[in-house]
Amino acid sequence: MMFASQITPRSVGGVTLAQSAALVPPLIVVALAEPDRYAILLAVSLGAALIWEAIFAVLRRQGHGIHGVTTALIVTVLVPPDIAVWQLAFVVSLGVVLGELVFGGRGFGFVHPATVAVALLMVSFPQIQLPASTQALAVATLPGALLLLALGLISWRIIVATAVMTVLALFVKGSGVDLTALSIALVFGLIFLICDPLSATATNPGRLAYGALAGVFIVVFSSGGPPTAEAIVLAALMASVFAPLIDHLVTLAHARRREKRHA
């Protein structure tokens, strides 16, 4: 941990940069299937996210960030390639504005804008099916995950708690547990949506509870079999809504424990 504290980014821009770097391999793997199409999709989502950030920066007379890049990258990886360009622009705009900019920018809201964007896509256009995660995508997520772990930008507690709770919940539900299929399905959404430091809990016991809650939601929202991308996005959304409450309960319990110390 001595090492991590030395290299952790000391600005929100640095955090965004690290997250964007972590997102590059998954994007490349997904885009290899249809490079031309994905180039258009990426351009559209980047354009939509950054234009809204620029508009808000001008309206608020603040500096212009590039935080929309991570939102655009995550959304591009998650959406199906045959999505209409206007639909993508529409949901990215809604996600960035409603999930982030109305709260004052990156780090001031309580949900991840990409989660909001994809969740709104599912609600607004129910006919669109999110593509299932592939083995290649799961493998490509790992270097980024290791980078973010080393920088202290995601917590192993959330990863472990979510994975364990998902397995447990599937077991209780009576569905078969195929660990390989499960990890392939989980890994991208878990690392970039559920573990996002700004929408997750910020205390160590809270992280365990938050991860466990996300695991339960994943199983509740998926209809049997390995978890779907839709279920993970909705679970991330719901869990982050509960994150402030979990943190509040943890601080109350911690204060009670402090009271009893040195008694």
Partner 1 sequence: MRHFEIKRGEWPSNAGAPAQRINGQIAVGSAAFLGRDMPGLRPVFEVKQGEQVEIGQTLFTDRKHPEIAFVSPVTGRVSTLAYGARKTLSACILEVDDTVQADPASVPIEAASAASIRETLLARGMWIAFRTRPFGKTPTPDAKPTAIFVNACHASPLAADPRLVLEDRMATFRHGVSLLTRLTEGKVYVCQSPGDAFCAEEEQIEPVSFSGTIAAGLAGTHVDRLCRISATEKVWTISYQDVIAIGHLFETGQYLAERVVSVAGVGAARPRLVRTCLGANIADICDAGEGSRALAGDPYTGHAATYLGRFHAQISVNAKTTPKPIRTWTLRKHTGLSALVPTGALDHALAPDILAVPLLRALSIGDSETAARLGCLGLIEEDVATLSRRCTSGTNYGALLRLVLDDLMEAAA
Distance (Å) of CA 89 to CA 41, 93, 120: 9, 6, 12
Q: How far is the CB of 105 from partner 1 (least distance, A)?
A: 7
List 25, 95, 105, 227, residue binding partner 1 (CB under 8 A): 105
Give the chain's radius of gyration (CA, Å): 18
- Cα separation, 14 vs 7, in Å, equals 11
Question: Site map for partner 1, 5-34, x if CB under 8 A?
Answer: x--xxxxxxxx-------------------
Residues touching partner 1: how many (CB under 8 A)?
44
DSSP code per residue over 24-50: HHHHHHHHTSSHHHHHHHHHHHHHHHH
Of the pair 174, 258, the CB lying nearest partner 1 is at 258
Of the pair 57, 128, the CB lying nearest partner 1 is at 57
Q: Which residues in 127-156 contact partner 1 (CB under 8 A)?
A: 151-153, 155
List 23, 159, 163, 250, residue binding partner 1 (CB under 8 A): 250
DSSP at 261: T
Q: How far is the CB of 184 from partner 1 (least distance, A)?
A: 27
- Cα separation, 198 vs 109, in Å, equals 8
- Cα separation, 147 vs 189, in Å, equals 16
Q: Is 262 in the site for partner 1 (CB under 8 A)?
A: yes
Q: Looking at 28-36, 103-111, 171-179, 216-224, which segment touches partner 1 (CB under 8 A)? A: 103-111
Of the pair 31, 106, the CB lying nearest partner 1 is at 106
